[in-house]
Chain A
Amino acid sequence: MSRRLFWLLPLALLPVPLLLNPYQQYVLNTALLYVPVGIGFNLVVGNLGLLAFSNVAYFGLGAYTSGVMMVQLGMPWWLTVIPAALVGGIGGAIASIPALRGVRLFYLAIMTLAFGELMRWTYIRWEALTGGSMGMAVPTATLFGWALDTDRRRFYAFLALVVLLVAITDRLLRSRFGRAFLAIKDNEIAAAAMGIPTDRYIVLAFAWGGAVVGVGGAMFAISVGHLTPVSFDLTELIRQFAIIMVGGLASLTGAIIGAVIVTVAPQVFISFPGFDELVFGLLIVLVILFLPRGLASLLARVHPAFVERYYRG
């Protein structure tokens, strides 16, 4: 996405809450918090090309870090965002260990999936901190003493965070880091032969991806107000996969489009419980069959400003 376009979008979103009812506002907030989740996931799966299925683990780590710090230490929400990012990033770095040992494709997918399941198991069992499978209530968030007690107020805080994360990730992808990720995706051996320290870049991509997703988790914690381990199961992984597949792998624009579509599309079928997962499944299958580069590729066809030529390989 071109620079000017990127800054126009959040500006255009500023007056939107005035038009929405509280429920629509909640849906929009959810779409917004899934943008960093999609971006972090896309960084590893799309840009780096490694099949890591542990995204939900970082998401949960971020959410629980934020929630536990607010409940146990009585910290205000804004102070827990950076720890959530740190813990998510550490989770990412841990998840990259099998990748560094040369584990690839399905092997990596299964091992990282196991990491996510292990984390979920930990939330269930570590009742003292997480409240077990009953979950924990998250207190009202504050931002510099200003209570984020309505969805409209949270919207502006979320928007600011998302803009920041997208901008930094965009810079990262346009820099030598992004080019290194692309080289590793295309041919890891050739990349190493050219002097790119592949291991270092793999850890970096996982850690930065984990950190961005962790912030998304911190946003999720205050948006839903109640954390349960069920929120971090396989269904959640599918939702996050749908985001990056529908939007388009290795595309920042794609992660944004995907987050919006995957959040809004099930709302159409809100009166049919269980239909949402069917929608994710259908979206994934149809997009893979008919639009393998995602909806972002459709947008790129409409206008060259949407072509992400620096990092989309």
Chain B
Amino acid sequence: MQIGLISLLDGLVYGMLLFMLASGLTLILSMMGVLNFAHASVYMLGAYFAYELSRWVGFWPALIIAPLLCGAIGAAIEVWGLRRVHHNGHIAELLFTFGLVFIIGRAVQMAWGMLPMPYRVPASLDFPLFSLYGENFPAYRGFMLLISALMLLTIWLLLKKTRIGLIIQAALTHPSMVSALGHDVPSVFTIVFAGGSLLAGLAGVIAGNYLTTESSMADAMGPIVFVVVIFGGLGSLAGCFIASILMGMVQTFSVVMEWSFADMLRPLGISVSADDLLGEILTISISRIGPLVPYVLLIVILLFRPRGLMGTRET
């Protein structure tokens, strides 16, 4: 029970973080048909910018400036890169962002090196918020939850209550029709791309000191975010939200499980020992397969419901 409650909160924090990254990616993917591999790289940039800025101007200004920088980078990528590549088809767009992943990754390594950055939680938030069964819940995690809840509210208000939100929603499903009605769809794309990158940057800022700021953080986060986006389904922020929370929980809980496939086979009357040919693989506990669990879920959902959890269309 003790592990359960704290894990539940941790899973929620992680899930909200995933949603912050995945929401931008879902919008970009649904509107422009671009699976932006560089999204997680922008998230990493956000963390590094925040670290660098917090050394000079402190954490709170960095919380504002770093995401804005990431948004500007996103806009630049859209205007000077993707827009030119667009007419060469999906494969070219996909690989373009794939190339960006490597450029950003290496540039970060050259600028800041391979070692983790000493990017710490600000002192004003470094205290336990409350204790549960003797285990502390740090205030910073509460702050992360607050920021992500605010972000969720902002996106929702923006998309549902404003004019630009209406246009974005329409362009999500019928871009050519929206264009025919006289709206400037390319600039809507740029806005969405910049907005998505801004959110990714924000996620980087608040996750950089919760997790670690290092050059492999993009590779660690990227695949899970894609899984979330595809699991949630295209064109559906609600699906994306549910998938994020689900993946957050799955990732957090799978770490504490100690079963293995061999244990699951035992009730069926099959006993496997580590000495058998496949035994070595089958006796590994779930906690060590944790990182693979999202992929397994993804394959299951794509086989049985190709459009994702709440997706409105197939591609």
A281 — which chain B residues lie within 8 A by C-beta?
99-103, 105-106
Query: Is A150 interfacial (CB-CB < 8 Å)?
Result: no
Q: Which residues of A contact B101 (CB under 8 A)?
A: 238, 281
Whether a CB of chain A sits under 8 angstroms from the CB of B302 is: yes
In whole angstroms, how far apart are the Cα atoms of A284 and B90 in the complex? 15
CA separation between A104 and B302, bound complex, in Å? 11
A121:B81 contact, CB within 8 angstroms = no
Contact at B98–A282, with CB atoms within 8 Å?
Answer: no
CB nearest neighbor in A for B231: A110
Interface string of A108-123 (1 = CB under 8 A from B): 0111011001100110
In whole angstroms, what is the CA distance A310 to B243 when docked? 45
B103 touches A122 (CB 8 A): no
Q: Mark B155-169, 1 if CB is under 8 A from A, else 0.
A: 000000000000000
Q: Can you report 28 residue pairs joining A to B where beta carbons are below 8 Å apart? A: A101-B306, A102-B306, A103-B306, A104-B315, A105-B35, A107-B306, A110-B230, A113-B223, A114-B295, A117-B223, A118-B295, A121-B292, A122-B281, A126-B280, A126-B281, A128-B280, A238-B99, A277-B106, A281-B99, A281-B105, A281-B106, A284-B95, A284-B99, A285-B81, A288-B88, A289-B96, A292-B88, A292-B92
Interchain CA distance A102-B306 in the complex, whole Å: 9
B85 in the interface, Cβ–Cβ < 8 Å?
A: yes
Which residues from A are CB-within-8-Å of B176?
A: none
Question: In this assembly, does A45 line the interface, its C-beta being within 8 Å of a C-beta of chain B?
Answer: yes
Are B99 and A106 within 8 A (Cβ)?
no
- A110 and B106 contact, CB distance less than 8 A: no
Shortest CB-to-CB span from B124 to chain A, Å, is 37
Q: A275 near B: Cβ within 8 Å?
A: yes
Question: By the criterion CB–CB under 8 Å, are A282 and B302 in contact?
Answer: no
Question: What residues on B are CB-neighbors of A155 within 8 Å?
Answer: none
A105 touches B315 (CB 8 A): yes
Q: Which residues of A contact B292 (CB under 8 A)?
A: 117-118, 121
Check B94 against A106 for contact (C-beta < 8 Å).
yes
Are B298 and A114 within 8 A (Cβ)?
Answer: yes
Cβ proximity bits A72-116 to B, threshold 8 Å, 1 near / 0 not = 000000000000000000000000001001111111011101100
- Whether A300 is near chain B, meaning CB under 8 Å from some CB there, is no
| Majority secondary structure of chain A interface residues (helix, strand, loop or mixed) | helix
- Cβ of B273 within 8 Å of any chain A Cβ, yes or no, is no
Number of chain A residues whose Cβ lies closer than 8 Å to a Cβ of chain B: 43
CA distance A282 to B99 in the complex (A): 7
Instruction: Give the distance in Å from the alpha carbon of A113 to the alpha carbon of B292 in the complex.
Output: 12
Q: Does B102 contact A274, Cβ atoms closer than 8 Å?
A: no
Instruction: Check if A234 is an interface residue, CB within 8 A of chain B.
Output: yes
Do A111 and B299 contact each other (CB < 8 Å), given the known contacts A106-B29, A288-B85, A289-B84? yes
Bound Cα distance from A285 to B35, whole angstroms: 16
Interface positions of A (Cβ within 8 A of B): 45, 49, 51, 98, 101-107, 109-111, 113-114, 117-118, 121-122, 125-128, 234, 238, 241-242, 245, 249, 274-275, 277-278, 280-285, 288-289, 292
Cβ contact within 8 Å between B106 and A278: yes
B185 within 8 A of partner (CB) = no
- Residues in B with CB closer than 8 Å to A114 are 223, 295, 298-299
Contacting residues of chain B (8-36) with chain A, CB-CB under 8 angstroms:
29, 35
Kindly report which residue of chain A lies nearest to residue B92, judged by CB atoms.
Answer: A288
Shortest CB-to-CB span from B313 to chain A, Å, is: 12
A113 and B94 CA atoms in complex are apart in Å by 14
Residue contact B96 to A238, C-beta cutoff 8 Å: no
CB of B167 to closest CB in A, whole Å: 25
A106 to B230, CA, bound (A): 9
CB contacts (< 8 Å) of B298 on chain A: these are 110-111, 114
List the count of A-B residue pairs having beta carbons below 8 Å apart: 113
Complex Cα–Cα for A140 and B185 (A):
61
Contacts of A122 in B (CB 8 A): 281
Check A106 against B35 for contact (C-beta < 8 Å).
yes
Q: 5 closest Cβ contacts across the A-B interface? A: A281-B102, A284-B99, A278-B106, A281-B103, A285-B99
The residue on B at minimum CB distance from A238 is: B102
Query: B270 an interface residue at 8 Å Cβ cutoff?
Result: no
In the complex, how many angstroms separate the beta carbon of A46 from the nearest chain B beta carbon? 9
- Chain B residue numbers with a CB within 8 Å of A98 are 299, 302-303
Contact A277-B95, Cβ < 8 Å, known A102-B306, A105-B315, A110-B298: no
Cβ–Cβ contact B95 & A288, under 8 A: yes
Complex Cα distance, B219 from A288, in Å, reads 23
Interchain CB contact under 8 A, B91 and A45: yes
Contact indicator A234/B219 (Cβ below 8 Å): yes
Q: Is there a chain A Cβ closer than 8 Å to B272's Cβ?
A: no
Q: Please indicate which of the listed interface residues A104, A107, A282 has the most CB atoms of chain B within 10 Å of its own CB.
A: A107
The answer to whether A277 touches B105 (Cβ under 8 A) is: yes
- A-facing mask of B96-116, CB < 8 A → 1, else 0? 101111110111011000000
CB-CB nearest in chain B for A283: B99
Q: A105 to B92, alpha carbons, bound, how many Å?
A: 12
**A284-B96 in contact given A107-B302, A114-B298, A114-B299 (Cβ < 8 Å):** yes
Q: Is B306 within 8 A of A274, CB to CB?
A: no
Q: Are A284 and B98 in contact (CB under 8 A)?
A: yes
> Which A residues lie within 8 Å of B95 (CB)?
241, 245, 284, 288
Query: CA A234 – CA B29 in complex, angstroms?
Result: 22
Q: Is B191 an interface residue (CB 8 A)?
A: no
